[in-house]
């Protein structure tokens, strides 16, 4: 089986000769270690868009400059209600946000226009080409964007701290933006479902300590149901990137029609073990993030930690190991090799589980 086929089998709730191991495309530097791990079955997760966003009535410009060795970019969006600006710092696979769109209450009118102006068009050619070029060596994943409320918390409109303040002081303004984002997401659902992608993530990076179970159930769950209904109608899978302390929303997650939970990070890095996640979310595929803190251990201990996690999971059906967070630059090669060694060792020692 190709690496992609093994991932697809696990995503459907099955298993293959070993539990699949995956890395995001941005974490794998070309070289001997990359070539070795791909030959051993590592599957690259290539995250690609399947739609384009246009704002025909907003004029957007960018200015990039260097400051003390840092690359900064200011983006300006001119609307009839004022100009919105943001400043981001390039940080490799991610970016640091120094300035976001909402700076004062008067900015709400411009942000409403900015969101209302969004138009979406399908963009499938690049996705199809990437899958054909990989020829089973990687799996391509589509994305809906963040959940509507999460878009306000961590999507670039306002900081998390500012969201908390606005939620208490100007909730009507926040909910007006939320309503626009809900309408926008509903336009995206069919574009993703009708795309060549077999699976797609909807949002994630939810911080339960900030929103709490009540807000999660009221403002997040309905959108998983809506998107899943469209995806399932087209025979596609849908999941979410839940990588935080999920204990207080675990029962709510269990009630969703999500097919898989991606980036779940077991203890010691969060408040749930892998065994607890299996018990809390029966019937859902677990695509875990190998706990980041464990990369700092010796190779032997990383390998053993991998075996221990597999034992904790109980069943290998519907289970995938992945890396969804950056790793120490001096450890990633050996740590990933050790994880793969642990996966292989468990498969050899418990061959009956893989029959």
Q: Over the stretch 262-277, which tens digit does the pLDDT of each residue have?
A: 999 999 999 999 999 9
CB atoms within 10 A of CB 328: 10
Question: pLDDT category, 351, cuts 50, 70, 90?
Answer: confident
pLDDT of residue 260: 98
CATH class, domain 3-52+104-354, is alpha beta
Q: Give the domain ranges of the chain.
A: 3-52+104-354, 56-103
What's the angle, vertex CA 264, arms to CA 197 and CA 282, rounded to 5?
Answer: 85
Judged against a pLDDT cut of 90, whether residue 215 lies above it is answered with yes
- Percent of all residues in the chain with a pLDDT value above 90, rounded to a whole number: 94
pLDDT of residue 92: 76
Judged against a pLDDT cut of 80, whether residue 239 lies above it is answered with yes
Rounded Cα–Cα distance for residues 328 and 331 (Å)? 5
Put simply, whether the predicted model's pTM sits higher than 0.85 gets the answer yes
Mean pLDDT of 155-182: 97
169 exposure class (CB count in 10 Å sphere: 0-12, 13-18, 19+): exposed
DSSP E strands in 174-307: the ranges are 199-204, 237-241, 260-264, 285-289
pLDDT of residue 353: 78
354 exposure class (CB count in 10 Å sphere: 0-12, 13-18, 19+): middle
């Amino acid at each position: 089986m190709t690496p992609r086929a093994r991932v697809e089998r696990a995503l459907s709730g099955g298993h293959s000769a070993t539990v699949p191991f995956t890395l995001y495309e941005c974490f794998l530097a070309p070289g001997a270690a990359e070539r070795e791990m791909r030959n051993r079955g590592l599957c690259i997760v290539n995250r690609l868009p399947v739609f384009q966003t246009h704002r025909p009535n907003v004029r957007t410009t960018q200015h990039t400059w260097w400051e003390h060795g840092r690359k900064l970019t200011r983006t300006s969006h001119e609307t009839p209600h004022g100009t919105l600006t943001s400043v981001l710092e390039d940080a490799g696979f991610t970016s640091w946000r120094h300035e976001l769109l909402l700076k004062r209450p008067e900015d709400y009118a411009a942000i409403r226009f900015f969101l209302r102006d969004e138009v979406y068009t399908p963009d499938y050619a690049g996705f199809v080409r990437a899958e054909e070029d990989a020829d089973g060596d990687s799996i391509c994943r589509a994305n809906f964007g963040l959940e509507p409320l999460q878009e306000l918390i961590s999507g670039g409109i306002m900081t998390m701290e500012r969201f908390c303040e606005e939620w208490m002081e100007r909730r009507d303004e926040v909910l007006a933006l939320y309503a626009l984002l809900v309408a926008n997401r509903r336009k995206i659902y069919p574009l993703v479902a009708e795309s060549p992608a077999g699976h797609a993530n909807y949002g994630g990076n939810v911080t339960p300590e900030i929103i709490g179970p009540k807000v999660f159930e009221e403002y997040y769950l309905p959108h998983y149901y809506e998107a899943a209904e469209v995806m399932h109608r087209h025979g596609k899978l849908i999941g979410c990137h839940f990588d935080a302390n999920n204990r207080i929303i675990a029962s709510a997650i269990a009630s969703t029609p999500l097919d898989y939970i991606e980036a779940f990070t077991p203890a010691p890095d969060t408040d749930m073990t892998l065994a607890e996640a299996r018990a809390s979310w029966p019937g859902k595929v677990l695509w875990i993030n190998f706990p980041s803190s464990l990369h700092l251990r010796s190779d032997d201990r990383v390998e053993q930690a991998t075996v221990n996690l597999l034992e904790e999971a109980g069943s290998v059906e519907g289970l995938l190991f992945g890396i969804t967070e950056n790793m120490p630059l001096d450890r990633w090669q050996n740590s990933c090799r050790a994880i793969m060694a642990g996966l292989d060792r468990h498969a050899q020692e418990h061959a009956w589980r893989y029959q």
